[in-house]
Structures are given as C-alpha cells and as structure tokens.
Structure 1
Amino acid sequence: MTHEERGHGRSFEHALTFGAASGPSSRAALDARHGTVVQGALVPSFSSAVPDSARPIASPRDLRLPGIAVGAALAATGPGAPLGSVLAARLPGRFGHGRVPVWAAALGDAVFLLVPALHGPPMVTVPALLAIGFVFGTFGQLVNVTVMAVRQSLAPDGMQGRVAATISFVGMGLTPFGSILGGLLAEVWGTRTGPAAAAAGMLLSPALMALSPLARLGRTLPGGRTGS
C-alpha cells in the first residue's frame, strides 16, 4: 500500500467516525470509532423501521381510521423535510454541529412514543398523527443534513462517493430487519405495546450519538467552515 493510499484510508476512517480533521477532537474520534460507526450508519435506519412496520396495522385496527387517513399520516413526514433543511442551514452554526443533531434526533424519535397512547375519534387522532409525522420529518431531516455536512467536511474529494455509498449501504441494509422486528413485536406484544417498545428503542440512536465524538463538535465544521 502506497503512502497516498494509506492517507486516503485514514481520511475515510475519520469520515466514518465523524471525527475532526485535526486537533483533540480528531483523537477523540479515533478512540470511539467503532461505537460511532454503529450509531451513524446502523442505528437510525434500523430503529426507525421498527415502528414504521407496525403503524399501518395499528392505525386502522386500534384507532379505526380509514385507509386515506392512514396514508396521510404516513405521508406527513414529507412536508416536514423542507423545514428541516432550512433549519439545518441555520441552527448548527448557532448551537453547534454536535448539539443540534443530538437534540433533533431525541425530539424527533420521542414523538413516536405518543402514537400508542392515542385514543378517541378520528377528528382527534388524525391531526395528532399528522403532527407527529411532521415533527419526525422535520427533525429527521435536520439530523440527516447536519450529519451529512460533517461527513462531507471530513472526507477528501476523491473519497466522497465511497463514503456516501458505504454509509447508505450499511445503514439501509438493516432497514428490512427493523421492519421484521417491528412486525414481530406488534404480533407478540400487541399493536400498542409493540410499537411503544419500538419507539422507546429509537431513543438508542440519540443516546449513542450523544456519547460519540459528533456530540463534541462546535459551531465550526472540521474543515474550518461555519454554519449560516
């Protein structure tokens, strides 16, 4: 292996671990590389797929919602994404590229704990489901854009494609397993207890994120750039 190849390998490893390019934060990233890779690539995709698989079953059965209401609830995450993108252009530069995704992930995942507790007529439950989906879509996009900005600031230009492909492959590869687990939980524990357990498991993502080197990043990106 040439010196240039070794350098690219180290840069790729830094990108996967969300570490800084230089200084103390870089050493901290290397110390926690394995846990951060798991959090950054595996946990979010897996954990979000678990409750998603149970919602189409629980909504019409327990809440007695028509199909159009279930579809609207599932689609509500979409309108939240543009707002999350706008917030991602402003909040990290003000509060930090580590603090923002941690709190956004915690808030976005925590709203799913409200779904199993919903009761009442559709005029109550449908707006609540729409609001939950919108909040999740907003904060989920805020996390995605912020973490992607950090990754892109770390990886050299020649490695950008491979870094993005690796994260997507590893992260999305576990999504089907999360869906299977969500269906099993709903079948064994019921359509309320199962999704509640799945929603609680989603909080593992921000917890691991808070313990990773990502949480210690400030308002300046590792490449020296700042947010808006």
Structure 2
Amino acid sequence: MDSRTAPAEAPEQGAPDKGADRGLRGNRDFLKLWSGESLAMLGSEVTVVALPLVAVVLLAATPSEMGILGAVLRLPALLYLVVGVWLDRVRRRPVMIGADLGRFVLLLSIPLLFLTDQLAMGWLYVVAFGVAVMGIAFDVAYQAYLPSLVTREHLGEANGKLSISHSVAQLGAPALAAALIARFNAAVALLVGSITCLISAVNLATIRTPEPRPVPEGDGARPRLLPMITAGLRYVVRQPILRPMVISTGIFVTFWSGIQTLYVLFLVQDLKLPSGVVALIFAAGGAGAVVGATLSIPALRRFGPGRTAIWCTVVCNPAFLLIPFTPRSFWPAVVLLTLVQFATGLTMPMSSVSMGSVRMALTPDNMQGRVASAFRGLSLGLAPLGAFAAGAAAEVWGIRPVLVVFGLCLILPIFVYLFSPIPGLRTLPEPAE
C-alpha cells in the first residue's frame, strides 16, 4: 500500500495515537467523533421522518410533488465524484464541521418559516437540496477521515459502532418525532435535527489528533480534476470485488429511492394512518437496525463479509414486495408494515458494515476520498431518476402498481452478488498495490 500522506506536525502531547493497539475504547478522539455523530444521526433520522410529513400533511403535496422532492434530495449524489477529488486535496475534519453548521442553518429555517406562515414547497425543495449537498460533503469526508483516526484492524469495529449509533437513532428518532408531531407538528420536529448538527460540529472541533496533510501525487504538481475523478472511477470499475458491489448497490438504491418517495404518501393517503403511527412504524425499522448493528461485527467475524452481505440481501430485498399488498384495515396494516420495517432494518446495517469495511480495506490511503466518492456517485447516480419516475408514474397509474414494479426490481441485486467473487470473501481483503 502506497500512502501519500504526511503529518503536518507532530502529534500533540496526550493526543490519541491511532497506531497504538489499545482498541477504540482508548481512542478518545474516535469517541468524540462517535458521540457527536450519534447525536447528529438522531437528528438526521428525525429529519427523514419529519421532512416528507411536512410535505404531505402540512403542504398537501401530490405524488408528482413528492417525486420532485425525492429527486431533489438525491440529485446532489452526482456531486460525489467532484467532492471526493476535492477531499483528497484538503483536510477532511474542517469540511465535516462546515457541513454540520450548514445543515443546522437550513433545517432551522423550516420551523421558523412555518411559524411565520411562509413555508412553501419551493423552499422545501431548496432546503432538501442544500441538506443533501451538505450530507454528501460530510459523508465522503467522514469515510476518508476515519482511516486516519483508527487503525486498519479497527475499521470494522469503528464502522460497527457507528452503525449501532445509526440503528439506535433509527429506533429512537421516529418515537421522538411522533411525540413532537403529536404535541406540535412535523416542522417543529425538524428543530431537533438542526440542534443535533450544531452539537456534532462542536464535538468535531474538539478532536485533538492532527490530521495528515494531503501530499500531491507524482511530481508534486497539483493534479487536474478530470484525471483524479477518472482514477477513482477506474479503480472501482476495474476492481473485481468493488465492481459487483457498486452495480448491486446502484440497482438497489435506484428502485428503493422510488419506494421511499411514495412510502409516506402511501401510508397517509392510501392507508389513512395518522402521522404519529407512521413515525412509530419507522421506529420498528430502528429496532431491527439496533439488533442488526449489534450483530454486524459478530457476523462479520464468524461468517465473513461475503456470506453476511448475501444473506442480508436475500432477506431484505424481497421484503419490500410486501408493502403494496398491505391491507387497508388498520391493525393488519400496522402489523405487516412493522414486520417489513423490522426485517429491512435488521439486515441493512449488517450488509453495510460488511461491504463498507471491504471497500475501505481494499482502498489505498491516498485514494480513500476518490474511491468513496466514485462508489457513491456510481451507486447513487440514478437515484434521482428513480424517485422522479416513481412520483410521475404514481400520478398516472396509482401508488400500489408502482410499488409492485419497483419491489420486483429489487430482486436483481441478489443475482449480481451470487455471480461475483463476493461469496468467497471470508476475511477483509488487502488493498491493491
């Protein structure tokens, strides 16, 4: 592995040393990152529940408007390629802090505008786009920053701990959102999301471990944008393990985005479920995610990343086909959707930890940003089209038929995984030279 980074300065006295074999419990800076992001994840999950409810309940959005909102939320995924190249040139922690502060301001604007009776779908689109852009900058920066904060042998554990936090947030946030919505409304619930982003920024600012300064490649000249983007894309496309991963993820995200776009609209308008019940159904996914995240590291160690990811995909993807066949009777609908949410919540973090750790382990240090962004850009690039297409199609043919078609398409990633080298992965691979 050819690492092209050099420290800008000697580590501060008492600063955590990622090379020390003390485990993550002794890495105080990772604990700061973990605790701050745990709160930010809580706020993010409240936003996931509250934002579409603002559109559907408070602004009476139509299927096509929800399609536009879903597309706007996912359109910034195309920026992943540029962001990754940029983050291989700069330190990542300041970018993460700036992204948190940006999300704080944008999310805070929604309850303020609602309270002054000035909130409209147009501004919701703007906020959704801005929050998505900031989220992408943070996402790539975090993935490129983590390997500089923890050792390679602790990557799986670090990803597992952050996945547990995400899962706990998925469990607690919908219940919190339900309580806030019942007492106030979905717009006010977004206030929680903004505050947690601010707390996350403060935690990141207190990390003491000096971040390595990126060193230019080759002759030291500043590399051009297009060749760096091409290098990241080429690495993902040519790598025999990453290639089926990105194809499978791309198919899944495209059609899952369409289902997500229509999901809240389906629950509120078709099934006539109250907003608080919708939030609690989301909480079932969080409960499953807590179990899945807790089991992710034991499963990774016992079965290997390949078999773990495949079995999770076999359980998770077909579960989405049950959604359009949900009966309109209240309790049968709630029970079925709760089971679907739990099953998908259980398997997603296990698969994510397994495949995310494989990608990080396969990638040389000096390409972490580019490869992470290339992977995200390729896998999420068609998500806006999936969301928009779902909204437009539902306007013509109805929500249930579209959910059936998109659910059937989610079966395809299973076969991509099966006919690839992924089933043979028993341990994390070594990075390419």
> What is the TM-score when the length of structure 2 is the normalising length?
0.43
Report the Cα distance in structure 2 between the residues aligned to 1:153 and 1:65, rounded to whole angstroms. 44
Cα drift, residue 195 of structure 1: 0.5
Cα gap change, 1:13 to 1:210, in 2 (>3 Å) = farther
Cα drift, residue 136 of structure 1: 0.8
User: Quick one: which amino acid aligns to residue 343 of structure 2?
Assistant: V
**Structure 1 segments (4+ residues) deviating >4 Å:** 11-15, 33-36
Match for residue 58 of structure 1? 266
User: Quick one: which amino acid aligns to residue 38 of structure 1?
Assistant: I
Cα drift, residue 161 of structure 1: 2.4
Name which of 295, 320, 343 aligns with 1:87: 295
Match for residue 107 of structure 1? 315
Cα drift, residue 117 of structure 1: 1.4
User: Quick one: which amino acid aligns to residue 147 of structure 1?
Assistant: M
User: Quick one: which amino acid aligns to residue 236 of structure 2?
Assistant: L
Report the Cα distance in structure 2 between the residues aligned to 1:18 and 1:83, rounded to whole angstroms. 35
Identity among equivalent pairs (%): 28
Match for residue 151 of structure 1? 359
Cα gap change, 1:15 to 1:94, in 2 (>3 Å) = farther
Cα drift, residue 36 of structure 1: 4.8
Q: SS state of the match for residue 305, structure 2?
A: coil
User: Quick one: which amino acid aligns to residue 111 of structure 1?
Assistant: A
Does the CA contact (< 8 Å) of 2:246 and 2:379 recur in 1? no
Higher relative contact order, chain-length normalized (CA < 8 Å, sep 6+): 1
Does the CA contact (< 8 Å) of 1:14 and 1:154 recur in 2? no
Report the Cα distance in structure 1 between the residues aligned to 2:356 and 2:234, rounded to whole angstroms. 14
User: Quick one: which amino acid aligns to residue 331 of structure 2?
Assistant: M
Does the CA contact (< 8 Å) of 2:236 and 2:243 recur in 1? no
Does the CA contact (< 8 Å) of 1:185 and 1:195 recur in 2? no
Report the Cα distance in structure 1 between the residues aligned to 2:391 and 2:312, rounded to whole angstroms. 26
1:68 aligns with 2:288: no
Report the Cα distance in structure 2 between the residues aligned to 1:175 and 1:199, rounded to whole angstroms. 15
User: Quick one: which amino acid aligns to residue 100 of structure 1?
Assistant: T
Report the Cα distance in structure 1 between the residues aligned to 2:282 and 2:235, rounded to whole angstroms. 33
Does the CA contact (< 8 Å) of 1:102 and 1:210 recur in 2? yes
Report the Cα distance in structure 2 between the residues aligned to 1:203 and 1:190, rounded to whole angstroms. 22
Q: SS state of the match for residue 223, structure 1?
A: coil
Does the CA contact (< 8 Å) of 1:12 and 1:159 recur in 2? yes
Report the Cα distance in structure 2 between the residues aligned to 1:116 and 1:37, rounded to whole angstroms. 27
Report the Cα distance in structure 1 between the residues aligned to 2:267 and 2:233, rounded to whole angstroms. 42
Match for residue 166 of structure 1? 374
Cα drift, residue 85 of structure 1: 1.9
Cα gap change, 1:117 to 1:81, in 2 (>3 Å) = same
Does the CA contact (< 8 Å) of 1:96 and 1:220 recur in 2? yes
User: Quick one: which amino acid aligns to residue 223 of structure 1?
Assistant: E
Q: Which runs of 5+ in 1 are unaligned?
A: 20-28
Report the Cα distance in structure 2 between the residues aligned to 1:39 and 1:221, rounded to whole angstroms. 19
1:38 aligns with 2:258: no
Cα gap change, 1:14 to 1:88, in 2 (>3 Å) = farther
1:214 aligns with 2:422: yes
Cα gap change, 1:176 to 1:14, in 2 (>3 Å) = closer
Cα drift, residue 64 of structure 1: 2.3
Q: SS state of the match for residue 192, structure 1?
A: helix
Q: SS state of the match for residue 220, structure 1?
A: coil
1:182 aligns with 2:390: yes
Does the CA contact (< 8 Å) of 1:109 and 1:203 recur in 2? yes
Cα drift, residue 148 of structure 1: 0.5
User: Quick one: which amino acid aligns to residue 429 of structure 2?
Assistant: P
User: Which structure has the bigger radius of gyration?
Assistant: 2
Q: What do residues 24-60 of structure 1 show as CA deviations (whole Å, max 9, x unaligned)?
A: xxxxx28xx75554324x2232121111112222223
User: Quick one: which amino acid aligns to residue 159 of structure 1?
Assistant: M
Report the Cα distance in structure 2 between the residues aligned to 1:15 and 1:191, rounded to whole angstroms. 39
Cα gap change, 1:130 to 1:212, in 2 (>3 Å) = same
> What is the TM-score when the length of structure 1 is the normalising length?
0.76
Report the Cα distance in structure 2 between the residues aligned to 1:105 and 1:117, rounded to whole angstroms. 21
Name which of 16, 22, 29 aligns with 2:236: 16
Does the CA contact (< 8 Å) of 1:18 and 1:213 recur in 2? no
The root-mean-square deviation of aligned C-alpha atoms, in Å, is 3.1
Cα drift, residue 152 of structure 1: 1.3
Cα drift, residue 111 of structure 1: 0.9
1:199 aligns with 2:378: no
Cα gap change, 1:147 to 1:207, in 2 (>3 Å) = same
Cα drift, residue 112 of structure 1: 1.1
Match for residue 430 of structure 2? 223
